[in-house]
Amino acid sequence: MPYFPDEVVEHILGFVSSHRDRDAASLVCHVWYRIEGLTRRSVFISNCYAVRPERVHARFPCLRSLTVKGKPRFADFNLVPAGWGASAEPWVDACARACPGLEELRLKRMVVTDGCLNHLAHSFPNLRSLVLVSCEGFSTDGLATIATNCRFLKELDLQGSQVEFRGRHWLSCFPKPSTSLESLNFACLDGAVSANALESLVARSPNLKSLRLNRAVPTAVLAKILTSAPKLVDLGTGLVAQSNNAGALPSLYSAIQQCTSLNSLSGFWDSPRWITPIIHYICKNLTCLNLSYAPMFRTVDLIGTIHQCQNLQHLWVLDHIGDAGLKVVASSCLELQELRIFPANANVLASTGVTEEGLVAVSSGCRKLNSMLYSCSRMTNSALITVAKNCSRITSFRLHICLHGSVDAVTGQPLDEGFGAIVRSCKGLRRLSMSGLLTDSVFLYIGMYAERLETLSVAFAGDSDDGMIYVLNGCKNLRKLEIRNCPFGNTALLAGTHRYEAMRSLWMSSCDITLGGCRSLAAAMPGLNVEVISQADGGANDAKKVEKLYVYRTLAGPRDDAPGFVSAL
């Protein structure tokens, strides 16, 4: 084998940026393992309990960017009790000791306290980017410490997090006379915002490209902000509904016309329909439009607006756009790559949103579609078969029919054939989420055809253990399996005994597994954490049904911070 000096390997690996490629490179030989470890700048930890933070820093001493994910995804839907864990504290502690030069920290579904943010702010003077997605546990006080101490902060993104409101002062804490801010997203913040502080902040942030405001920012303030930041690329509007701000509209319209770089728009909240002209001014440039938090827009306004956005690549919208609206999307937005339809009212069981017609229309018109999230009231096999034929490039397909267990609306059959066609035709499918009445057959199709599948979410589906067994035996690339309310028992669980170490995690809730089955799995595979979440009191005998099970591979052994309702087996 030709001899490469370390510097050459290092140089070559410098061009390799993707995590997976780097992981593969590190397996080539010891030399490459060592050099890759020393040169990796960006580390992605998909499960905070899979490895101890100290170990990460020991292997990657030069890391500059750390991404950590915490709770299982079903925590988003209230299936994981509060206090489950995923505290960011150990990660921040370890990083502060080992790597004070940290530049980027991204956390998803983790608990971040103000104390933690304080620790962060004082430990990482070079911090450029802090992204907290769907996190909780902190308040505006914590934000104030970050703003005050991280003088070089370029990005602060609180997407979807729960932030306790303790005052408006945090916005004034950013550095003066100018900041390095390029991206600021506080759209999720409940609570008032000081208009003066915001205007002053935008005025002294010359590099600001992305700004997402919360509902407390009125029209007049928005107009002023846009005037002082005409180079904005991404805007999340605040609230533009208050009638006493109607006088600010003309200045808003003229301000937005100056924003010639604006290509991404979101927000709107309770904006009434007379705000839609601001979209019309920039619709030629728009590539991303998120109207999924704008339930007040009428269907006709949605249609009129979207019709003009011919360059849209990403569209998120509520289901009251209707099938008619989706037909307009199909004829106007030919560049569309990603479409997400959300239910306008998640509490209504039989909503009158979109149906299979809209889905078929979009699949025929938007041939570049590769990612779909579709919340609808009904679906048919033939529609899914048509979608499969039209959009074979789909990599992510999530279908949520609002009534669980719905059959084919025309034939009354289960939706096995439809989803079967999807997995058969979309060879690159990596993510699938299914709903409707589904038998073991659909799992057979998935096992047979979905070779690239990495994430599968299943609810209220299947007839017997065979379903889960087909998937475990067939999908070699499966990383995350999330199952709820399916009749899979211990046999199915144990059939995957030797698969789980190759996967990131398995979630099963409201299935037919018992404590005995989970104990067998735990005994057979010491490299897995088998955790049972149970809030009811009761005996701990083997026959007891397990309400929630979370299994994941780990190098860190059982958790030491598990709350009382989580039992490690």
Q: Count the residues in the chain.
A: 569
Nearest to 160 by CA among 200, 183, 132: 132
Residue 494 CB, nearest approach to another protein (Å): 10
Residue 77 CB, nearest approach to another protein (Å): 3
For 333, the 3-state DSSP assignment is coil
- Residues between 279 and 298 that touch another protein (CB under 8 A): 292-293, 295-296
Tell me the site size for another protein, rule CB under 8 A. Answer: 75
- Residues between 369 and 388 that touch another protein (CB under 8 A): 375
Residue closer to another protein by CB (options 352, 411) is: 411
Residue closer to another protein by CB (options 182, 356) is: 356
Near another protein by CB under 8 A, which window of 170-178, 251-259, 470-478, 526-534?
470-478
Q: Binder to another protein among 172, 245, 364, 439 (CB under 8 A)?
A: 439
For the four alpha carbons of 108, 112, 118 and 120, in that order, the dihedral sign comes to negative
Q: Which two tokens stand for residue 381?
A: 């096999």
Residue closer to another protein by CB (options 14, 563) is: 563
- Residues between 5 and 44 that touch another protein (CB under 8 A): none
Q: Binder to another protein among 39, 47, 134, 237 (CB under 8 A)?
A: 134
Residue closer to another protein by CB (options 111, 309) is: 111
Cis peptide leading into 177, omega within 30 of 0?
A: yes
- Residues between 207 and 246 that touch another protein (CB under 8 A): 215, 239, 241
Helices (H), 229-320: 249-257, 277-282, 299-307
User: What is the rounded CA–CA span in Å between residue 430 and residue 181?
Assistant: 35
Nearest to 326 by CA among 374, 257, 377: 374
Helix (H) or strand (E) holding 90: helix 89-98
Q: Binder to another protein among 37, 90, 115, 160 (CB under 8 A)?
A: 160
Judge whether 248 and 219 are in contact, CB under 8 Å.
yes
Torsion angles phi and psi, residue 421, rounded to 5: -65, -40
Per CB under 8 A, 473 contacts another protein: yes
Residue 350 CB, nearest approach to another protein (Å): 8
Per CB under 8 A, 359 contacts another protein: no
DSSP symbol at 123? H
Per CB under 8 A, 402 contacts another protein: yes
Tokens 């940026």 locate to 17
Residue closer to another protein by CB (options 264, 290) is: 290
Per CB under 8 A, 247 contacts another protein: no
User: What is the rounded CA–CA span in Å between residue 194 and residue 172?
Assistant: 9
Residue closer to another protein by CB (options 236, 365) is: 236
Judge whether 111 and 137 are in contact, CB under 8 Å.
yes
Residue 281 CB, nearest approach to another protein (Å): 24
For the four alpha carbons of 482, 488, 491 and 495, in that order, the dihedral sign comes to negative
Per CB under 8 A, 524 contacts another protein: no
Contacts of 4 (CB under 8 A, 6+ apart): none
Q: Which two tokens stand for residue 395?
A: 């990599």
Residue closer to another protein by CB (options 3, 77) is: 77
- Residues between 71 and 100 that touch another protein (CB under 8 A): 74, 76-79, 81-83
Mark residues 308-347: x for contact with another protein by CB under 8 A, - for none.
----------------------------------xxxxxx
